[in-house]
Amino acid sequence: MDALFVGGTGPTGHRMIRGLLDRGYRVTMLHSGNHEIPEIPPEVEHLHTDAYDEAKVRETLGDRSFDLSIVAYGRLRAIAKLLKGRTGRFLSLGGVPAYRGFMNPELFDPPGLPVPTPEEAPLVAEPAQDEKGYRIVRTEQAVFEHHPDAAHFRYPYVYGAYQMVPREWCIVRRILDGRSLIVLPEDGLTLHHYGYGENLAHAVLLAVDQPERAAGEIFQVADEEVLTLRQVVQHVARALEAELEIVSMPWELATPARPLIGMPLTTHRVFDLAKLKTRLGYRDLVAPAEALARTARWLVENPPAPGGPEETVLQDPFDYPAEDALVSAWRKLLRQMPAVVFEREPGYGLAYRGPGGRPRSRPTFEDA
């Protein structure tokens, strides 16, 4: 069996290629050739070209056909068209910005995606709502126009080795630089769904193994467990045996946290994985806490160059003097906050669910 894999050097591709080889496929990998990685086994055939140039892809593929194609990179719409009638099965990877409100949460009133967001949630319907999201939606439609039995996967942010926008570097570098604090908005309670590379590759390989259950379907994929931003920081720090004081500020002031949030508001992005779990039997191979620890240690061993492409796309200047000045001003403001005395201090109400629960109604506990 012959498989074509477009891409392959990012956080999930090399794992899927290894999985295809383990399943008996002869794998041909089409990619730029600019980022060869040692995880790709030597028996994989490499076709080097610009996957975003339709004419070059057509020339490179010639008249070849495949039993299975997985397109994880390049101009998906054009590649889907080129492979029509030339592949037995077609699997493709896209992104969750297809959903209306993912890029612009203020398209909802009040702002923010539904939590969790189901597969049938409204998609971007016109460029005026979100031009990028609209292009993604049109690409998904083109995939199924050319391959009605395709399986398409909407990826969230992917973390792990070889991520070109390594969000965790914002935390790891501060630890390596000896920082003792990090600024987070609103106590770091924002929930964003992410996916570890090994987990997402596992999800796609489940579709390879179950063609009838995957055919014609779009799947949301992500880690099962959704961590708060605070928990992400804590897991990374713990993995590196470090301590970072989390300085909580209102979003309007927490400027250093913008690269970690990656959106204009602190609203949540959580996706319903019910179809992936029930139809394909997905479960995380690696729990997020361990996945973050592995990612943090990988970044320590493979640090991005200061001011290099990763830091450029992250847009984190690591301007510690400015951060210290901001934290100092914030703490001074808190100290200057006048004490406000309520005539009758608010309580938690009968629905209190904190430590200890509600006070007992009787002086002694009766076990009956």
pLDDT digits 0-9 by tens, 209-236: 999 999 999 999 999 999 999 999 999 9
Q: Is residue 368 part of a domain?
A: no
Question: pTM value?
Answer: 0.92
Predicted pLDDT at 338: 93
Q: Is residue 202 part of a domain?
A: yes
| Reported confidence tier of residue 360, pLDDT bands at 50, 70, 90 | low
Name the E strands within the chain. Answer: 2-6, 26-31, 45-48, 66-71, 87-95, 151-155, 157-159, 181-185, 194-196, 217-220, 245-249
| Reported confidence tier of residue 148, pLDDT bands at 50, 70, 90 | very high
Predicted pLDDT at 353: 76
- Amino acid identity of residue 82, one-letter, is L
Whether 147 and 197 have beta carbons less than 8 Å apart is answered as no
Q: Is residue 263 part of a domain?
A: yes
Q: Is residue 338 part of a domain?
A: no
DSSP state of 186: G
CATH number of the domain where residue 254 is located: 3.40.50.720
Q: Among 12, 7, 142, which residue's Cα sits nearest to residue 83?
A: 142
What is the maximum alpha-carbon separation in the chain?
84
Whether 207 and 233 have beta carbons less than 8 Å apart is answered as no
Per-residue pLDDT of 86-140, as tens digits, reads: 999 999 999 999 999 999 999 999 999 999 999 999 999 999 999 999 999 999 9
Buried b (16+ CB within 10 A) or exposed e, 113-140: beebbebebebbeeeebbeebbebbebb
Q: Is residue 155 part of a domain?
A: yes
Please say if the pLDDT value at position 70 is more than 80: yes
Q: Among 22, 12, 11, which residue's Cα sits nearest to residue 3?
A: 22
| Reported confidence tier of residue 34, pLDDT bands at 50, 70, 90 | confident
Whether 244 and 176 have beta carbons less than 8 Å apart is answered as no
| Reported confidence tier of residue 363, pLDDT bands at 50, 70, 90 | confident
Q: Is residue 314 part of a domain?
A: yes
Give the Cβ contact number of residue 160 at 10 Å: 25
Please say if the pLDDT value at position 319 is more than 70: yes
Taking the C-alpha atoms of residue 117 and residue 102, their distance in angstroms, rounded to an integer, is: 10
| Reported confidence tier of residue 6, pLDDT bands at 50, 70, 90 | very high
Q: Is residue 357 part of a domain?
A: no
Predicted pLDDT at 355: 82
Predicted pLDDT at 144: 97
Q: Among 127, 71, 80, 119, which residue's Cα sits nearest to residue 99?
A: 119
Predicted pLDDT at 85: 95
Predicted pLDDT at 368: 58
Q: Is residue 64 part of a domain?
A: no
Alpha helices in 54-196 (DSSP H): 54-61, 76-82, 131-146, 169-176
Please say if the pLDDT value at position 341 is more than 70: yes
Q: Which residue is associated with the tokens 């892809």? A: 57
How many structural domains are present in the chain?
1
| Reported confidence tier of residue 359, pLDDT bands at 50, 70, 90 | low
DSSP state of 97: G
Of 348 and 343, more confident: 343
DSSP state of 339: P
Per-residue pLDDT of 155-171, as tens digits, reads: 999 999 999 999 999 99
| Reported confidence tier of residue 150, pLDDT bands at 50, 70, 90 | very high
Q: What is the mean pLDDT of the chain?
A: 94
Please say if the pLDDT value at position 15 is more than 70: yes
Which residue range is the domain that position 261 belongs to?
84-332
| Reported confidence tier of residue 265, pLDDT bands at 50, 70, 90 | very high
Share of the chain above pLDDT 70, in %: 98
